Structure formats: structure tokens, C-alpha cells
Structure 1
């Protein structure tokens, strides 16, 4: 196999959670362009269908999976449906995530739990069900989406920080348990990206200036700038990479 061919995803099927927009949609498109069949996921059937139409119009093979990644029964049922349809998932990207900004002293337990369930527990549930199929086959790629807060804390986003810190160690735990079965579990830590979730931050002049001054690249990241890392971790090019988190952050974590 040539070095270039090792990045080819032809013949592989990838499930990307939270992929109707933002980072998930960008990575789904990138994996599809690299040859993968992609399964788009979300809770809103209309937004998932719209994203799927865009990819099909570009000539890609796309499936739609409408289910809540935070519910164990829903996740188990979704994978049983994949089995029944003959969809053998080779790659999982655990991307689904939400944010909740509030000082910790004012934080309600329900809001804490909602963020933890969406950003961390979902990765456990999806990863577990995927690995139950990957382990007997002796191959598979699991990519968890972390954050800068997988390494450092920031005030007013405590549940998000805890969830993304957990993603880093969940990824290492997956590698510890499943590497011998031919599964590679790694994570991507995006920096500040221009997504719908960050619209309010981009519009805040002070915060926008802080991001640009704090980041050596001097700008926000674009969702498509995660695609190269995602393809690397999803492909055979990364077969001896396991339990790692790669930060795609314009250099922010590298400087004081």
C-alpha cells in the first residue's frame, strides 16, 4: 500500500454523531470525499435529511440515523437496526455535543447532567455498541471529539470542561481495553471554531479579540480544518496511533 492509499476510506462505513451541521457535518463530508459511506445522525429528521441531500447531490452514499445518543435504549436499538440493514460500521466519530454557559454557583443539576450526558455519556454508549461489533471483527476506528478544555479549564463552562476532560480519559481507556483487538481509539481537540454553537462568542467583540490575540494563528478555526485529522485517524495511516488526542487549535495550547 502506498502512503497516499493508506488514507483512502473506500469500502468503509462511518457513523458520525451530531452530523447535520457544524463540525460533524464538515467531517462527514470529508470522510465521504475520502471514499467512506457515511451515516449522518441527529435528533431532528429534517436537518439530517437536508445534510444528507447535500452529500447525495455530490455523489456520495449516505444513510440517515435519527436517534438520541444520550439514551441507552435508543443507541442499542440504532445499532440493532444497522445490523439488520447490513451496515457494518468501521469508523465512529463521537461528535455530538452541547454547551451551557453559567457560573458554577448558579448551575442546576439538570443542566450539569444534560451536558455530561450529551458530551460524554453518549461517547461511552456509542463507543461501547460499536466496539461490541468491532472486537469480533478485529478492526475499527473510534474518534472522540474533545476540546481545549480536555486539557485546561475555563470559567462558566464547568460541565463542558468536565465532559471534555472525561473524553480524553475515556479515549485512553478505550485504547487500553481494545487495542489488542485491532481497534484504534483516539480523539481530536478542536480550538475555537467558527460554528453555530460559537456564534454568540464570535459576535462578542471582546471575546473575538481575545481568541484572535490568544491564538498564535491569529484567527478562529474553520470546521473543514478538522477534516485532515479526522481522515488520518479514520484510515489505516493511523493503525499504530492509539489513545491520543490531537489538538487542532491554531497553536493556542502551545503558548502562555
Structure 2
């Protein structure tokens, strides 16, 4: 194992949903490994501060508008990417959303919003970018899933369905595009404090309950994902495809006490 197999110098990475949150952390990690970025948001002007940050690192960053729920937007985005870059080496399918409600309260529109964004959008963005990857005989597609890709949680019906779908989609696309030199994997974070769920962390009882179920006894920090995203984007993972890599502190083990708490 040498440092060079993690080097992304000369490569271009597309990251969707990069105006905030984990998308920006993924971008920083890939840029630090040497990659130039194409970053997206529904509102391209929201990307300006992040673009400036990446350029200060000595990397190029191109902001593009993309609404993953709109097929015409995806097609326009694909054309803009093709015009801007000779080759895209890496796609991080990160754009996503969530609606937290008891299952009996979920509305038709809630379901469509989450599934259209997280699952349908991920497929058609991957399809758009994979066309060029197939032509070049090389690509790394990283679909962002979640611990909910492998476990169900009350109050997250549409989200769990979308992330479980991402795991299955990842395996299907890996089988479809492997012969063209394109790997497809799913990076599945556990419980990370983000803008989407920060309100939960205001509930001390819930936080204590969660920490008790995580073997490492803490929630994830964004930089805990740096190594995983670079690994899946680089030559280090050249014989890894169709896999879901959980970075979750061990919560997916089940983490239920089988013995009484010591007094």
C-alpha cells in the first residue's frame, strides 16, 4: 500500500448537493487528495463561498445548477459537465432530503419528495455521468446512503425506503457498468449531526439513548468520512464494487444490551 493509490491529482469529481453539509466535507476531502471539483446545488449562487474555499486550496471548482427532481435539469447539467470537462472520473451522488413523520402521518407529497430526490434523482444523475465514464473506460461512482440502507427506524419510512433502494441500486449499477471499468459503491454514514437532524440533538434523553446504542459511544464527525470517500474514489478501491461501506461507529451491529446495566 502506497500513498500514490489514494492520489486523485489530475482527476475531476462531480459532487451533487454541495451547498452545505456533508457534500462540502466530501468535496474538501477529494480536493485535498488532488481532485478538481464540479459542484452542484439547486441555486448555483449558494455555492460561491465553497468554490472560493476550494480554489484557495489550489484546486479548480465549477458551480453548476442542478435540481435532481427535474429530468430536464439533469439533462442540462449533463451537457454542461460534458462541455466543461474532458473526463469526469468520480461522481458523488450526495443530494438528498428527509421528512420525519410517524408512518400514519406521511403524505403522498412527502413520499414523492424523498423518493424523487434520494432515489430517482441518484439514478438519473448516475446515468448521465456514466455515459462519459463508459466511453473512457473508467469511473468511480459513490452513492451516498445511510445506516438506514440496512436498518429501519420509526418515523423515517420514506427515507429508509429511499436509502434501502440506494443500496440495491448500487449493486445493480455495479453489475451493469463493471465491464466498462466503472465501479459503483455506496457510502453509508451512521448518525452524524447535520443540518437535517440537528434538532434531534437538542433532546438530551434522545442523545443519551443514541450514544448507548453506538459501540464507539459518540456520533459521527464529518471528518470521519474523509478516508472512506477518498478510498472509494481512488485506485485503492479498484477491485471493490457493488458494496455498501458503513461508517457508523458500529450502530449497525444492533448494539442492544444483552446484559443488565451495572449499578
TM range (shorter): over 0.9
CA distance in 2 between partners of 1:193 and 1:86 (Å): 33
CA positional deviation for 1:164: 0.1
2:241 corresponds to which residue? 242
Any stretches of 5+ residues in structure 1 without a counterpart?
none
Q: Secondary structure at the match of 1:63?
A: strand
Asked whether the equivalents of residues 23 and 224 of structure 1 are also in contact (C-alpha less than 8 Å), the reply is no
Q: Secondary structure at the match of 2:88?
A: coil
2:129 corresponds to which residue? 130
Matches within 5 A, 1:79-98: 79-98=78-97
Asked whether the equivalents of residues 47 and 63 of structure 2 are also in contact (C-alpha less than 8 Å), the reply is yes
CA positional deviation for 1:197: 1.2
| CA RMSD after TM alignment | 1.1
Greater C-alpha Rg: 2
Q: Secondary structure at the match of 2:197?
A: helix
CA distance in 1 between partners of 2:211 and 2:86 (Å): 43
Matches within 5 A, 1:97-176: 97-176=96-175
TM (norm. structure 2) is 0.94
Say whether 1:6 aligns with 2:5.
yes
CA positional deviation for 1:87: 4.4
CA distance in 1 between partners of 2:81 and 2:33 (Å): 22
Q: Secondary structure at the match of 1:246?
A: strand
CA distance in 1 between partners of 2:18 and 2:87 (Å): 19
Matches within 5 A, 1:17-28: 17-28=16-27
CA distance in 1 between partners of 2:56 and 2:181 (Å): 35
CA positional deviation for 1:196: 1.2
CA positional deviation for 1:103: 1.3
Any stretches of 5+ residues in structure 2 without a counterpart?
257-263
CA distance in 1 between partners of 2:188 and 2:225 (Å): 9
Matches within 5 A, 1:201-212: 201-212=200-211
TM (norm. structure 1) is 0.96
After TM superposition, where is structure 1 displaced by more than 3 Å over at least 4 residues in a row? Answer: none
1:232 corresponds to which residue? 231
Post-superposition CA distance 1:152-187 (Å, at most 9, x none): 111111000000000000000001111111000001
Q: Name the count of aligned residue pairs.
A: 255
CA distance in 2 between partners of 1:59 and 1:134 (Å): 25
CA positional deviation for 1:91: 0.4
CA distance in 2 between partners of 1:40 and 1:86 (Å): 13
